[in-house]
């Protein structure tokens, strides 16, 4: 296995972990300590990784489209402890915004010369950008268990729509359906990721 592949696996794991930690810290900032009490505000990947979302899905998507996809075990939070009308929306958005911020910060550092890597190092650094933009786009899909759906439902909750209207999406069979949809959309997702990366680097 080449260095870039090993490096990409490590970056993917920690990018997913940071994504989940961001959800937990956002909830903590809004008054809910559930993630902290559960020991999920840690960089230890063992606490976060999910067998399907952190292993099977990334492997399948990589060989299917060379794209980036995956998720970790959702960080637990109690929506009834959150303080603020849009607190749940903030918590739901924190993960994808973290991945986007990581990619933008590295791209900015490259653009103004803070990072001046060799050709080999440049490939490694751009892999961080690509992976985090990939996670950003993939997790915005509006299906369970992706953040995109939770962002939408959280927005409706903040506008007064009852939580019970979205309980159907908590059924396990939705994950299987969502993976089928995501797999078929993988070439489209990969093209969006490549487009974004090309315009920020």
- Active-site residue set: 20
What is the rounded CA–CA span in Å between residue 36 and residue 28?
7
For Cα atoms 76, 78, 79, give the angle at the middle one, nearest 5 degrees: 125
Cβ neighbours for 18, distance < 8 A, ≥ 6 positions apart: 43, 98, 99, 102
What is the rounded CA–CA span in Å between residue 110 and residue 114?
6
Q: Map 107-128 to HEC letters.
A: HHHHHCCCCCCCHHHHHHHHHH
Cα radius of gyration rounded to whole Å, the chain: 17
User: Under a CB-based contact definition with an 8 Å cutoff, are residues 21 and 75 in contact?
Assistant: yes
In three-state secondary structure terms, 160 is coil
């Amino acid at each position: 296995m080449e260095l870039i592949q090993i490096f990409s696996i490590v970056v993917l794991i920690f990018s997913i972990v940071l994504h989940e930690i961001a959800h937990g810290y956002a909830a903590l900032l809004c008054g809910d300590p559930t993630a902290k009490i559960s020991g999920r505000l840690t960089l230890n990947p063992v606490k976060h990784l999910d067998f399907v979302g952190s292993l099977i899905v990334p492997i399948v998507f990589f060989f299917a489209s060379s794209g980036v996809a995956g998720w970790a075990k959702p960080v637990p939070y109690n929506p009834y402890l959150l303080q603020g009308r849009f607190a749940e929306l903030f918590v739901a958005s924190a993960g994808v915004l973290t991945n986007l911020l990581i990619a933008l910060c590295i791209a900015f550092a490259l653009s103004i010369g803070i990072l001046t890597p060799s050709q080999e190092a440049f490939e490694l650094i751009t892999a961080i950008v690509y992976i985090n933009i990939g996670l950003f786009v993939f997790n915005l899909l509006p299906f369970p268990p992706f953040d995109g759906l939770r962002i939408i439902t959280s927005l409706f909750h903040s506008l007064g729509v009852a939580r019970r209207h979205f309980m159907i999406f908590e059924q396990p069979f939705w994950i299987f359906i969502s993976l089928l949809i995501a797999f078929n959309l993988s070439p489209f997702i990969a093209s969006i990721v490549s487009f974004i990366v090309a315009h920020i680097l």
